Structure formats: structure tokens, C-alpha cells
Amino acid sequence: MQSRIHEAYQACLAIASRHAENFPTASRLLAPHLRPAVAAIYAFARLADDMADEGNIPPEVRRKRLDAWEELLVRCAREEVDHPVFLALGDAIRRFQIPLAPLQDLLVAFRMDTEIAAYASEEELLFYCRHSAAPIGRLLLHLHGVHEANWVVASDALCIALQLTNFWQDFAEDLGRGRCYLPANWLARAGLTPEDLVQGRWTEEALAPAWEAAFAFTEKLYAEAKPLLGIRPLRLRLQAAASFAGGKRVLAKVKRRKQAQERPVLNFRDRARMVWFALRTALR
């Protein structure tokens, strides 16, 4: 049985390595004994996200598949499930006493993806992010034995800021898929609606007030996340600092780009600055 569990973890690590740019917490900054568990969490989330995004399949079918995915999650916590992801995840849940709630929160967000393509307000957008992004940080804190409320609050802020930064970075790509993450109340300041953006009825100049609101909102979250740069242990602090630096750098690039259709790219100099910031912050 141990060989089967080992093979299951290897399958999860393979999934994580294929998508490392989207899940940096599978990086070598993590303690080696935690990487397999993090990879199992990622594989669970990655495959569920793929189910939610299968646009050629009716939404109600995708939601039923996510319901079945959740049933397997609950089962794997109490017994071995003959599926590589759940065999590994179940072992990790029992070994590290991982709570199911954050994993179930992820599924709430994925179900939302099957039926919601725009948000009326920042409160609605935050609700989505608290289920789609914050659980990852909470799970990492748990794996490191960190449970204090102040760290959870800072972690939530960082995870949500990173997700929003990703939304602003992928703005044009998301519009092409019929999704708009700029809330309707921000767009209303510019006399626009999410439908206007998806249909291409907008200009860079007209969109400026909405971007101003988006950047201010995201910067506020990064400020709320800053205490996380003092967290222990060292490896977790390095991970937090690297994520913080990377997110801030991408956000700065998004703010400077001349056209919203252009996706900013981090160059070697950007990455060197991020590494320097992470090391300086973590070792200070």
C-alpha cells in the first residue's frame, strides 16, 4: 500500500510541476516533507478547476461533477479512495490533520465559475476570492503549524491581492472568455458595464477610473498582507516574501502598461529584484 501512496504523490507532483507558474507554493522554498502534501492539494484544486472551466459542457453537468469531487474529498478523509489524487490527499489529510473546510471552500468558488462571469461589487468579488484564493494560504499555514488569527488575516489579504493581480494581468484574456473581474460599480464610474467590456465597447481612456479603483483596492490588500513578511518559520517567510514581491512587481507592470490588451511579462531584472527583496526581507 505504501508504494501505491508513493505513486499517488508522484502523480500529484507531476501535475504541480506542469503548472508551477500558477502554484508557486509547490516550489523548493517549502520544506521537503511538506511538498508532497502541497502537491496533493494542488492536484485536487487543479483538476476541479479544469472541470469548472470546461465550457463545452453544460454548467449543470459541471456542477454535478464538482459535487461528486466533493464526495470523494469527504470519503478520502476517512478511507482510502482508489484515485491517485484522493489516495495522496487522503493520506496528507490524515497525516497532517488538514481541515476539509478550506478544500470545500475552493469547490464553492469553482461552482461559482460555472454560472457567474461578472461581479456587481467589490464585496461580491471578495466573496469569490475568499473561497478561491484564501484557502490556499490557510492550508499552508496549517501545514506549518501556524494558527494565530493575525497570520490568517494577513495570509488572506496576500492571497486575495495575488489573485486580483492575476485578474488585472489577464484582463484581455478573461474578456475573450466572456469574464470580467472589474466589478460593475467600479465600471459605472466610467459609464460602462461588464457587458460593454466583453463586447469590446470601451476605450482605454474611458476605463481609467475603474483601473484606478482596482489598483487602489489591490494595493490596500498588499498593505494588509505586509505583516506576513515577519512570519516564522524561515521557509514560510521566504515563500511569503517571494509571493509578495512577485505580486507587487506584476501589479506595477500592469499599472504602467499602455494598453489593457497587453499582458505584462517579468524579465530577468524583475525576477532578480524579486529574489533580492525576498532574501533581504526574510533574513532581516
* pLDDT score, position 21: 53
**pLDDT number for residue 168:** 97
pLDDT of residue 283: 67
Q: What is the pLDDT of residue 284?
A: 67
Q: 247 vs 7, 41, 161, 164, 230, CA distance in Å? A: 34, 22, 8, 9, 17
- pTM of the complete model: 0.92
**Residue 64: other Cβ atoms inside 10 A:** 12
> Distance between CA 189 and CA 5 in Å, rounded?
54
pLDDT, tens only, 107-164:
999 999 999 999 999 999 999 999 999 999 999 999 999 999 999 999 999 999 999 9
User: Which residue stretches of the chain have pLDDT < 50?
Assistant: 22-26
Say what the pLDDT of residue 76 is: 98
pLDDT of residue 26: 46
What pLDDT does residue 125 have?
Answer: 98
Residue 262 has a pLDDT of 67
**Domain annotation for the chain: domains and CATH numbers:** 1-115 (1.10.600.10), 117-284 (1.10.600.10)
Q: What average pLDDT does the structure give for the chain?
A: 91
> What pLDDT does 3 receive?
87
Q: How far apart are CA 68 and CA 283, in angstroms?
A: 45
Q: What is the pLDDT of residue 24?
A: 46
Alpha helices in the chain (DSSP H): 2-18, 35-52, 59-76, 84-96, 101-113, 122-132, 134-143, 149-169, 171-176, 184-188, 194-198, 204-225, 234-256, 268-283
pLDDT confidence of residue 23: 45
